Structure 1
Amino acid sequence: MHSNHLDLIVRRIQGRLNRESGPLEPPLIYLDPEAVRHIYQELTGLDEPPGIHVALPEAEAPGRAEARFGIETGYRPPARLLFEAMSPILDETVPRVDRPEDLHPLAYRYARIFGRFQTTHFPDGGLNLEISFAGVRGILFYTKAFFSSMVRPLLGSDRFHSLGCQVEALVYLHGRPQRTIFYHQSFGDDQEHVWLPLAPVALREAEGNIESE
């Protein structure tokens, strides 16, 4: 078990509960609780995060809580709190992708990416979601068997058709980059595009401008 990782995670959770860790990060656009739990297991070797016991000492200032932890008892921390507690470790251990060539050794691994989250008709004409980053189109929720089996969100409203924002994301790379011609019959440009399927773990709106291909 990586006790140093567990110690840091517990300290971060306690700091958040006691409001000692500064302002929260910008809101998450998406978070996969199962993936968060799996990453916690990989980092610590434990099946479950520590239980939280929250006490409200009478002598403390209003709005302040004291958090105590036990591996087997207490309430499990919510996925967002656990993810934020693990974020410093992930920032140090998960590679960031800045160029297409960075992707090749990272197939079937986690990666940190920065790009544009948007709707797209790539690659088959259906309305899909992608993160365009480092010259690559990352297609979300792709099912390997065939395009018709993709999990497609209900994107019927004008709001979703115009979806687009810069994000920083933790994703799982389902394979290596591949090339596909985006034909005009599928609302494309008849050009070849580099893409790969992504399983998003966490998406957060990014501050500042991020160049997107």
Structure 2
Amino acid sequence: MGLRRQGHHLYEAGTGEEGLELLRAAAPDIVVLDLMLPGIDGFEVCRRVRAAGTTPIVMLTARDDDLDVVSGLEAGADDYVVKPIRARVLEARIRAVLRRGEHVAAGPEVYGDLTVDRGALTVTRASRSLALTPTELRMLLELSRSPGQVLSRQHLLQAVWEHDYLGDSRIVDACVQRLRAKIEENPSRPVYVQTVRTFGYRFQPDPR
């Protein structure tokens, strides 16, 4: 009701299976997903949504255990919101996720076999188009905006998610892990997105 008052058009599903059917039929702009569902749970729904495409996902749940948060992020969630939460706050988080897919400054940039086109919001590696979620794309754009510079996790939290998560860096690490799986030839030995231990991450413009 609160989201409808904010002007959103909603499709509702009571089970994970119904939600996946609605996703295919309605093609929504974003998915707000509970974890505790009858049938397949929210984690599995999240994995299937992410495997099917790049639709943004906000997890909305009463479960705030560390393991649940990490599992949700690793399953592919773009944001993780713990109940209770006011409708206008949830709506602000939804809009923040959706803004990550909006256009920014134009101009394709080439780094080795990786091409980032900021105007078209596309990324290719070895001439093959990569399907990045809005959050993964925003992360890559932020990192590549300052090649060679180390960006702290706190900076990335504020730049990509637009709030600080009270210093919780797990959401950054999970997003970087997913991003590496798509842009790196060998994600276990990344050349583009490098970890600077205890500080944060650095985008390496020349992977040689």
Bin of the TM-score, shorter chain as denominator length: under 0.3
The structure whose residues are more often strand, as a share, is 1
TM-score, normalised relative to structure 1: 0.26
Judging by fraction of residues, say which structure has more helix: 2
Which has the higher relative contact order, 1 or 2, with Cα contacts under 8 A spaced 6 or more apart?
1
Which of 1 and 2 has greater Rg? 1
